[in-house]
Structure 1
Amino acid sequence: MGAIPYTGLIILRPKTGLTKAYLRLFVISKAFLGQVEDYLKGSTIHHFGPTHLRQMLISVPPLAEQHAIAAFLDRKLSQIDRQIALIDQLDDLLQQQRKAIIHEAVTGKIDLSAYDPPAETA
């Protein structure tokens, strides 16, 4: 997005009726980020500050629902983070295996003389 807050730092403090957890998740949502895009000002450096922030709309469900939404999303985001970590580990292992196979093929430890590559499909 490329926005630079011209006040240096914007600190969000939820008012009564809004939980920190819900607000934290809302500011990374498409609903929030879409509004940020609409308010960006400037031709080369985009400015977004407190004036713009005060104009933003936020849906504020009852506190119990905010807690439930935040807990649900935290669980799901944690699951996604674990899956990403596993995918990264698998990618590292596959890269290591690829390098080992290439090394063995180049050094002649694997006989490729009988290898018949698959036909290309269009």
Structure 2
Amino acid sequence: MVARGLMRLVTLVTGDDRQLTAVGTIGVVLYFAVPIIPGAVARALGARRTAVALLVLGAGYVALACVVIGVQDLGDVDLTANVVAVLVAIGIGFAVAVLGLALLAWRFASSWATRYAPSRTWTEGPRD
């Protein structure tokens, strides 16, 4: 939802007349969430290194997609110095949103793993 708000700011700053729709919002939520899910699942299963790698890859993919789509959408917009400054700030907001998404997925999966994971005392052998 933060990303959708930032997208709305971009349309306001650039003077674009596109409207944001509910279908588009659902698409953005899915586009941001799907690449993060494998890392969250890996973390919930206890694979920390794999989870970090998958979350970094997923967040990197989302960040790269944000840059590519932003550059494509702004390709024909007349940019002034003030507009560029605001767009840079919005770009930083996107970076923070993507990083926050990965961290939120890590925390949620960690919480889920500690709450629902089977007790390790049953899987450990007797102590000598």
Higher helix share: 2
Structure with larger RCO (C-alpha < 8 A, sep 6+):
2
Normalised by the size of structure 1, how large is the TM-score?
A: 0.34
Higher alpha-carbon Rg: 1
